């Protein structure tokens, strides 16, 4: 009976993830024409991609203010089309503002690198809100207001990235960066950007891999750590392959950049299920692991080998989820004139992450078994909740929930919830569509932990 009751939370969490992924499957396997039925006629003034816009207007040099102007033009055109009753074409232009311009110009990456990750999340949410306003037919006033709000946010960021309004080459941090690439300010900005990217994207992965390695080290299963490292290393190789595939897809059709968000969302939600299982497995051994000889008996058990595979797969997921994005961010940075500062930021960031990893291993030696195993399982449970929020947000950005009327298609900010870069890194956003599922998962996690702690006490007494 206990085994069956302990499986109930796992079944519930798995069902939650499956329900969240069903719309993603529909988005992936539906064609572009099926989404709106729009056929975009040739237009000498408005374009669906930045490349077409630049070619159509004969632009050779531009700054981020020019990019913001271009996106504003497309967004307002979408509002005009909507007002004229052409909702299908309006939706295509609303989508183009993000996938055809914001990502392909490098606006997103530069905002994340030189402003903040939380700012990128805010702007990306506004793109989603504009699409939803058109798709859900929320009225002319709403659509136009969302387009104008998006334009305002982009021009604010453009002013930060190109403060003097002069020519700034693609991907540079400021308007004068092309002329001052060797200046101290430019080098510092490049270093800070490269350091921030690897630290931001790698922190979640290193916490997961470090927790698993520390757990196995503390449990006396040092040989079992090797598959975990192999899983993480293989994820790096897969990240390079995926980055190449995504770059190729973007070259074919900028709108396929939505595939990156959907893939990351898939990986994050899959990680939710695996991490939830691993977390429960760890807490279930908190008492039993204190017995001498327990680990040796379990290592010989074939079922335990299955758990080792789950740990290695968890490490692979954690690294793969962020790896491709790091590569895609670094590629253009290396061609901006300060490659040495990019590599310096990368190396220093890796050193910090390695420090976090060894700190976790050091603590695993100092702490008693039961408190350490409980702390590790709680960390894994926390990462499960973080991955759930991050996964849902990625699917929002990928347009997965545009066609659905429930809470996940309403990405408005909850002003009463604080938001900053730290919360953004850990997948905690002031959005009803992410917060409510995370609260549900938190309740399930707490109930499950209480069950295992009570069960462990009974086992210890016996």
Give the containing element (helix H, strand E) for 352: helix 339-366
Question: What is the reported pLDDT for 306?
Answer: 52
Token digits of residue 296: 């040796």
Q: Splitting the chain (462 residues) into consecutive groups of 10 residues, what average pLDDT does each group show?
A: 59 73 59 44 71 84 88 93 91 88 84 82 87 88 93 92 53 42 59 80 82 77 82 88 75 59 76 79 60 44 57 83 76 69 87 86 69 77 85 78 50 70 78 85 88 73 64
What is the per-residue DSSP string for 373-441?
Answer: HHHHHHHHHHHHHHHHHHHHHHHHHTTTTTT--SGGG---B-TTS---HHHHHTT--SBHHHHHHHHHH
Closest Cα partner for 146 from 123, 129, 122, 124?
129
The angle subtended at Cα 29 by Cα 28 and Cα 30, nearest 5°, is 95
Question: What is the reported pLDDT for 44?
Answer: 56
Give the containing element (helix H, strand E) for 77: helix 64-83
Instruction: Determine the angle formed by the axes of helices 339-366 and 184-218, rounding to 10 degrees.
Output: 30
Question: What is the reported pLDDT for 13?
Answer: 73
Work out the number of other CB atoms within 10 angstroms of the CB of residue 368. Answer: 9
Question: What is the reported pLDDT for 21?
Answer: 65
Closest Cα partner for 281 from 301, 310, 302, 313?
310
Give the containing element (helix H, strand E) for 156: helix 140-161
Q: What is the pTM of this model?
A: 0.66
Half-sphere exposure of 424 (CA within 13 A, CB side): 16
Hunting for tokens 């700034």 — which residue is that?
168
Question: What is the reported pLDDT for 461?
Answer: 65
Do residues 329 and 175 touch, judged by C-beta distance below 8 A? no
Question: What is the reported pLDDT for 149?
Answer: 94
Distances (CA, A) of 133 to 123, 352, 446: 15, 43, 37
Residues 6+ apart with CB under 8 A from 33: 39
Structure confidence by residue, pLDDT tens digits, 118-150: 888 889 888 988 988 898 888 999 999 999 999
Residues 6+ apart with CB under 8 A from 242: 263, 320, 323, 324
What is the per-residue DSSP string for 280-338?
Answer: HHHHHTTTGGGSTTHHHHHHTSHHHHHHHHHHHHHHHHHHHHHHHHHHHHHHHHTTSS-
CA dihedral angle for residue 212, residue 213, residue 216, residue 219, rounded to 10 degrees: -100
Do residues 279 and 212 touch, judged by C-beta distance below 8 A? no
């Amino acid at each position: 009976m206990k085994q069956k009751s302990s499986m109930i939370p796992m079944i519930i969490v798995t069902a939650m993830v499956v329900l969240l992924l069903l719309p993603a499957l529909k988005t992936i396997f539906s064609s572009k024409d099926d989404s709106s039925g729009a056929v975009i006629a040739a237009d000498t003034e408005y374009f669906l991609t930045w490349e077409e816009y630049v070619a159509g207007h004969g632009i050779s040099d531009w700054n981020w203010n020019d990019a913001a102007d271009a996106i504003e033009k497309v967004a307002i055109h979408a509002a005009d089309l909507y007002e004229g009753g052409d909702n299908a074409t309006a939706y295509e232009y609303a989508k183009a503002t993000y996938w055809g311009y914001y990502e392909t110009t490098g606006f997103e990456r530069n905002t994340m690198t030189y402003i903040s990750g939380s700012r990128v999340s805010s702007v990306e949410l506004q793109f989603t809100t504009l699409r939803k306003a058109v798709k859900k037919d929320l009225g002319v006033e709403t659509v136009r207001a969302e387009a104008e709000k998006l334009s305002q946010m982009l021009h604010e960021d453009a002013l930060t990235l190109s403060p003097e309004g002069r020519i700034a080459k693609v991907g540079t941090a400021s308007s004068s960066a092309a002329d001052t690439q060797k200046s101290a300010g430019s080098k510092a900005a490049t270093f800070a950007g490269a350091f921030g990217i690897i630290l931001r994207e790698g922190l979640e992965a290193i916490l997961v891999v470090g927790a698993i390695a520390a757990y196995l080290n503390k449990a006396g299963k040092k040989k079992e750590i090797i598959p975990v490292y192999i899983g993480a290393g293989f994820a790096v190789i897969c990240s390079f392959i995926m980055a190449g595939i995504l770059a190729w897809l973007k070259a074919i059709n900028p709108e396929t950049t939505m595939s990156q968000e959907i893939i990351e969302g898939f990986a994050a939600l899959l990680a939710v299920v695996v991490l939830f299982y691993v977390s429960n497995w760890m807490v279930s051994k908190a008492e039993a692991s204190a017995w001498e000889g327990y680990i040796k008996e379990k290592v010989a058990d074939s079922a335990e080998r299955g758990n080792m595979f789950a740990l290695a797969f968890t490490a692979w997921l954690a690294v793969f989820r962020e790896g491709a994005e790091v590569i895609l961010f670094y590629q253009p940075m290396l061609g901006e004139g300060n490659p040495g500062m990019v590599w310096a930021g990368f190396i220093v960031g890796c050193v910090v992450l390695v420090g976090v990893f060894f700190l976790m291993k050091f603590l695993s030696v100092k702490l008693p078994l039961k408190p350490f195993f409980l702390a590790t399982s709680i960390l894994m449970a926390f990462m499960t909740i973080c991955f759930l929020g991050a996964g849902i947000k990625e699917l929002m950005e990928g347009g997965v929930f545009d066609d659905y009327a429930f809470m996940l298609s309403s990405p408005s900010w909850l002003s009463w919830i604080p938001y900053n870069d730290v919360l953004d890194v850990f997948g905690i956003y002031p959005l009803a569509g992410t917060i409510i599922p995370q609260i549900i998962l938190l309740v399930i996690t707490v109930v499950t932990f209480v069950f295992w702690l009570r069960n462990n006490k009974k086992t210890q007494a016996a």
